[in-house]
């Protein structure tokens, strides 16, 4: 361990050192608590699909050979729950990886083109009318292409999952900022929940999110990515009328 020479230092210097040391300890403590909470939340979230798989395996063992309808129901449920765990573990790894290293591979990216690809893909997946309104054909941003693509993916996917009608995506650029807004006309988010939707594993309606294959991790991943680009993500929502997520990224 490195030895720090204390003698000969002024009272102010010692005071400064002790406060820096205390700040470091506080940050470490905070980080451990966050880590602990994450592990506890993650285990809790994984328990549900595991217990569903367990029950269906027992059912399969008991009746699967005699009753084809039980065989079908059980194998389908096991497949769904396995897919859910797979999605959850992938997102947890993404979150952990992003948090471990905020290293961004910044490059000049045409965000309009990136959004066009995203919109095209989701229009097909959800068979939905998704419209892109762009003020410029080529909106250039200095971003990590893969990570920002992930943000667009999460927001457009959510807009499709939590609404039935069309989805509008707007891009704009203002002083020093590039702005992307994903607007849906769906159910909206209750006021009491808005503050928490960016928290890990938070879902307004757990059962609904589960049915949609949601994990409750998408928005926390999106927020982390946007903030690591020194940007901000905000939400504007009205119950019964829809939700708009806006991402603001610095131009360079
Ligand atoms: P999930 O995998 O459950 O969609 P997210 O972290 O992406 O997790 O979102 C957290 C919660 O925020 C969702 O479960 C949902 O309740 C709410 N939410 C997110 N986007 C929308 C939206 N466009 N409209 C209504 N609710 C939304």
* pLDDT the model gives residue 4: 64
Query: What pLDDT score was predicted for residue 191?
Result: 94
CA 134 to chain centre: 24
Q: Is the CB of 243 under 6 A from ligand 1?
A: yes
pLDDT in tens, 225-244: 999 999 999 999 999 999 99
Interval between CA 121 and ligand 1 midpoint (Å): 20
Q: What's the pTM value of the predicted model, to 2 decimals?
A: 0.83
Write out pLDDT tens, residues 12-48.
Answer: 888 888 889 999 999 889 888 888 888 888 898 899 8
Task: Give the whole-angstrom CA distance, residue 200 versus residue 196.
Answer: 9
Phi, psi of 54, deg, nearest 5: -60, -50
Give me ligand 1 centre to Cα 47, in Å. Answer: 21
- 201 in contact with ligand 1, CB cutoff 6 A: no
* Ranges of residues in the chain whose predicted pLDDT is under 70: 1-6, 101
């Amino acid at each position: 361990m490195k030895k720090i020479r204390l003698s000969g230092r002024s009272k102010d210097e010692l005071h400064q050192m002790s406060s820096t040391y205390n700040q470091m300890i506080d940050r470490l403590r905070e980080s451990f608590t966050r880590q602990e909470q994450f592990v506890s939340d993650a285990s809790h979230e994984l328990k549900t699909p595991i217990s569903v798989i367990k029950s269906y395996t027992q059912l399969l063992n008991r009746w699967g050979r005699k009753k084809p309808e039980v065989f079908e129901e059980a194998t389908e449920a096991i497949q769904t729950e396995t897919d859910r765990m797979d999605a959850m573990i992938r997102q947890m790894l993404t979150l952990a990886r992003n948090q471990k290293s905020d290293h961004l591979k910044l490059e000049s990216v045409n965000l309009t083109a990136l959004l066009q690809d995203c919109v095209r893909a989701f229009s097909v997946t959800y068979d939905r009318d998704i419209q892109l309104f762009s003020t410029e054909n080529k909106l250039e941003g200095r971003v990590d292409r893969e990570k920002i693509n992930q943000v667009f993916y999460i927001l457009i996917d959510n807009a499709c999952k939590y609404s039935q009608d069309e989805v509008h995506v707007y891009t704009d650029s203002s002083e020093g900022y590039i702005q992307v807004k994903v607007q849906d006309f769906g159910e909206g988010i209750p006021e009491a929940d808005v503050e928490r939707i960016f928290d890990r594993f938070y879902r307004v309606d757990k059962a609904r999110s589960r049915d949609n294959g949601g994990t409750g991790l998408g928005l926390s991943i999106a927020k982390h990515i946007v903030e690591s680009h020194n940007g901000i993500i905000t939400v504007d929502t009205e119950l019964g009328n829809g939700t708009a997520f806006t991402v603001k990224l610095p131009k360079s």
